[in-house]
Amino acid sequence: MGFLFVYFSLIFYNKIDVYKEIKMLIAVIIFILLVFYFFLIYNKFVRLRNMAEEAWSGIEVQLKRRCNLVPNLVDTVRAYAKHEKSLFENITESRKRAMNSYQIHERSIEEKILSTSMLKIFAVVENYPDLKANKNFLKLQEELVDIEDQIQYARRYFNGTVRNNNIFVQSFPSLIVASIFKFKEMEFFDLESIKEEIVPKVNID
């Protein structure tokens, strides 16, 4: 308070160039506002990145559930279709590659391959009425349908956070902060649901 009193007293008695000081004061205020604004943008980038990472973790949880279900599904179907050896080997290998994929784009590709292998398993099941009525198989089928739903919920949330991040990276003036602090656009996760192909078919005849 004492400093401000002296400062304005000097201005009043023309001991300080008023216009020069006003310009300097305006420049300082603008600088402070810019620093504060950049700080807000930086924090938003961090928040968006953390949200995307959290959303990706949600996807990984559901993909892991799906991979963990595969061995039980293979064992159940194998009991009825032992001659489908190559099919069981292919889905086991697809599962292994999917679980060992850590980049989003790579994981998307491997999970699509796993989905295709799983659909082939369910196509085989159609030839075995007793298997289709097996309680263990029906339980696995029901669980897989739930997992497919959860994967799609998690995928939509993740892609939403990625979209928000990418828009912010591309927009002005936040793109300046993104360039300085190396915030980059993120990849979307693409994986179609196989739910419709695996749900039990109801015969209304």
Burial 17-26 (b: 16+ CB within 10 A, else e): eeeeeeeeee
Does residue 142 belong to any structural domain of this protein? yes
The whole domain housing 143 covers: 17-198
Confirm if 42 and 177 have CB atoms less than 8 A apart.
yes
Residue 164 resides in a domain:
yes
Q: Is residue 172 part of a domain?
A: yes
Q: In the predicted model, what is the mean pLDDT of residues 2-29?
A: 62
1 is a domain residue: no
In a domain, 8, yes or no: no
Q: Contact 131/75 with Cβ under 8 angstroms?
A: no
> pLDDT, tens digit, for every residue of 91-128?
999 999 999 998 999 999 999 999 999 999 999 999 99
The pTM of this model reads 0.83
Tens-digit pLDDT profile for residues 134-186: 999 999 999 999 999 999 999 999 999 999 999 999 999 899 999 999 999 99
Any domain includes 69:
yes
For residues 111 and 81, is the Cβ–Cβ distance under 8 A? Answer: no
The radius of gyration of the chain's CA atoms, rounded to the nearest angstrom, is 30
How confident is the model at residue 198, as a pLDDT?
84
Please indicate, yes or no, if residue 140 is contained in any of the structural domains: yes
Say which CATH number the domain at 71 has. 1.20.1440.20
Q: Is residue 137 part of a domain?
A: yes
Total number of domains constituting the chain: 1
Q: Which tens digits make up the pLDDT trace of 18-64?
A: 567 677 778 888 888 888 889 999 999 999 999 999 999 999 999 99
